[in-house]
Amino acid sequence: MFDVSPLLPEGTPAPSARWSGFPDYNFVGGHIDRATVPVDDLRAAVDRALARDGHDIATYRMQSGPLGYTPLRTFVADKLKRYAGIETTAEDILLTSGSLQAIDLINKLLLRPGDTVIVEESNYGGTLSKLRALGVNMVPVPLDAEGMRMDALETTLDDLAAQGITPKYIFAIVTVHNPTGTILPLDRRHRLLELAKNHGVPVFEDECYSDLTWANTRPPALRALDDSGLVIHIGSFSKTVGPALRVGYINADWPVLGRLVALKTDAGSPVLEQMMLAEYGPAHFDAHVRHCNAVLESKLDAMIDAVNEHFGTTVEFTRPPGGIFLWLKLPEGVTTPRLAEVAGQQGVAVNPGPDWSLQYDADRWIRLCFANPPVETIRDGVAKLAAICHDEFGVPEISGNVRR
C-alpha cells in the first residue's frame, strides 16, 4: 500500500478515530432540543422558497451576490433591529457557514501570530482553541455574576497601552455568555464601548445565544449602542433553529465587511438553508423562539433539580437567565479534566473547565448542556455523573439523600 506519511508536514496528527455515535448522556456541544425543531414549518418554508427561486441554484450564490441570499439578509436585518436594537440593512450583513466561519474570517482579516486580543476569562472553547492555533496572545478579563468586569477591562487596556500594545479586538459574548450564561448590564455595555473607543480597539461581539432568554427580552447589543463602526457583530441560527444547518451572519460596517467578503473564498455558503430560513423567519421565528425558551427553561430547571438532588451543596452555580448551559463548580479535590475522561468512558459526556476558561481554578468547573437530552436523560445522566464523581474523588458523599 502507498504510505502517505513521508509526505506529511512535521507534526501532522494521526488519522481520526472512526466516529461511533453520540454518548448515552450527552451534555457537551451546542445541541438543541429535538422536539422544538419546527420541522413542518421548515418543510413548508423550503418548499415555497424552492418553488419561487429554485432555478437560481444554477448560479453560484443564486442571484444574490457574495453577501448571501438577499431575502435572508433582509430578515436578519429586521431581526437584529427588533431583538438587538441594531439599525442596519441587508447590505451590511454577510451570511456565513455557521458563526464558526464568521470567527475564522474575522480572525483571518485581523490577526497574525504574535498579535494580542482581549477575551473574557471564561469563554467559548472554539474561540480559545482557534486563537491558540493562530499563535495569538490572549489577555483574559475576569467575570463576575454580571459578566465582564469593567474595572478589570480598564486596567487591562491601560496596561497594554503602557506596553505599546493595541489589542486587535475585545472578544465579548455579552448577551447570554458562554459558558457562564450572564447578560452584561446596560451600564457596563456603555462603559465597554467607551473604553474600547478611547483605546482604538474594535469590539468583536458574538451573540450566538442572545435570542435564548427566559424573559424574552435583552439589553441592546453593543453594536446597537455604537454608531462609529467600532463593533463587529456575529450571530447564528444554530441555537434557535438547528446547529446542523450552519447558518451564521456578520454585521459590520463596509470597511470591515467588504474585506471579509473578499476573504470568503468558498464561492458562497450553501443556499438551501438560507432559502428555508428566509421563508420561515418572518412568519414563525418570534413565536418559535418564545416556545424554545419555555422548553429550555424547563430543562434547565430539571437539570438544576437533578444537580441539587445528586450533588447537593458540594457544587456551586448561578442559575443562568438564558442559553443552553449550566456552568458548575465542583468541590475541592475534584479535577474536571479527569472527571470528564472517566465519565466519558461510561457514556456521560461533559466539557471540562480548562477547555472553556483561562481562570486559575478552571479545572474545578464543568459545562453541562441541558438543551438536547430528554428530561429523563438529564436526570439519569446527572445522577450517573455524581456517582462517577464519588467513585473517583469521594465526593459528593450524599446523593439523593443517601450517603454513599
Q: What are phi and psi of 398, to 5 degrees?
A: -115, 130
Check residue 113 for interaction with a second copy (CB under 8 A).
Answer: no
DSSP conformation class of 143: E
Q: What are the backbone dihedrals phi and psi of residue 41, each rounded to the nearest 5 degrees, phi first?
A: -65, -35
How many other C-beta atoms lie within 10 A of the C-beta of residue 401? 7
Residue with cell 465526593: 395
Of 245, 289, 315, 387, which one interacts with a second copy (CB under 8 A)?
Answer: 245
Q: State yes or no: residue 3 binds a second copy (CB under 8 A).
A: yes
**Host H or E run for residue 139:** strand 137-141
Is residue 30 a contact residue for a second copy (CB under 8 A)?
Answer: yes
Would you count residue 109 as binding a second copy (CB under 8 A)?
Answer: yes
Amino acid in the structure at residue 233: H
Residue 323 engages a second copy in binding (rule: CB under 8 A): no
Q: How far is the CB of 19 from a second copy (least distance, A)?
A: 3
- Looking at the Cβ atoms of 57 and 342, the one nearer to a second copy is 57
CB closer to a second copy, 4 vs 162: 4
Q: Is 4 in the site for a second copy (CB under 8 A)?
A: yes
By the rule CB under 8 A, 33 interacts with a second copy: yes
Q: Whole-number minimum distance, CB 35 to a second copy, in Å?
A: 7
Which residue is associated with the grid cell 451570511? 95
Piece in contact with a second copy (CB under 8 A), picked from 14-22, 339-347, 374-382, 391-399:
14-22
Q: Whole-number minimum distance, CB 15 to a second copy, in Å?
A: 2
Among 149, 197, 284, 338, binds a second copy (CB under 8 A): 197
Asked if residue 72 binds a second copy (CB under 8 A), the reply is: no
Binding positions for a second copy, 219-238, rule CB under 8 A: 228-230
When asked if residue 284 is in the footprint of a second copy (CB under 8 A), the reply is no
Name the minimum Å distance from CB 125 to a second copy: 12
**Shortest spacing between CB 395 and a second copy, in angstroms:** 32
Q: Which of 191, 177, 203, 224 is nearest to 322 (CA)?
A: 177
DSSP string, 91-122: GGEEEEEHHHHHHHHHHHHH--TT-EEEEESB
C-alpha grid cell, residue 365: 468547573
Residue from the set 72, 83, 86, 101 that interacts with a second copy by CB under 8 A:
101
Distances (CA, A) of 310 to 260, 307, 351: 48, 5, 19
Judged by CB under 8 A, does residue 288 bind a second copy? Answer: no
The verdict on 298 binding a second copy (CB under 8 A) reads no
Tell which positions 342-381 bind a second copy, by CB under 8 A. 372
**Which C-beta is closer to a second copy: that of 31 or that of 390?**
31
Applying CB under 8 A, the site for a second copy has a residue count of: 91
State which residue, 89 or 155, has the beta carbon closest to a second copy: 89
Residue pair 396/312 in contact (Cβ under 8 Å)? The answer is yes
Upper half-sphere CA count for residue 143 (Cβ side, 13 Å): 27
Cβ of residue 319: shortest distance to a second copy, in angstroms?
Answer: 23
What's the number of CA atoms in the CB half-sphere (13 Å) around residue 186?
8
| Among the listed residues 211, 237, 240, 205, the one whose alpha carbon sits nearest the alpha carbon of residue 224 | 205
For a second copy, give the closer residue by CB, 274 or 359.
274
State the nearest-atom distance from the C-beta of 68 to a second copy, in Å: 11
Asked if 249 and 274 count as a contact pair (C-beta separation under 8 A), the reply is no
29, 312, 321, 337: which one binds a second copy (CB under 8 A): 29
Cβ of residue 258: shortest distance to a second copy, in angstroms? 2
Give 59 or 308: the residue with its C-beta nearer to a second copy.
Answer: 59
Helix 39-53, helix 272-311: angle, nearest 10: 160
Nearest to 188 by CA among 138, 232, 151: 151
Q: How many angstroms from the chain centroid is the CA of residue 276?
A: 22
Give which of 151, 154, 175, 156 is closest to 231, Cα–Cα.
Answer: 175
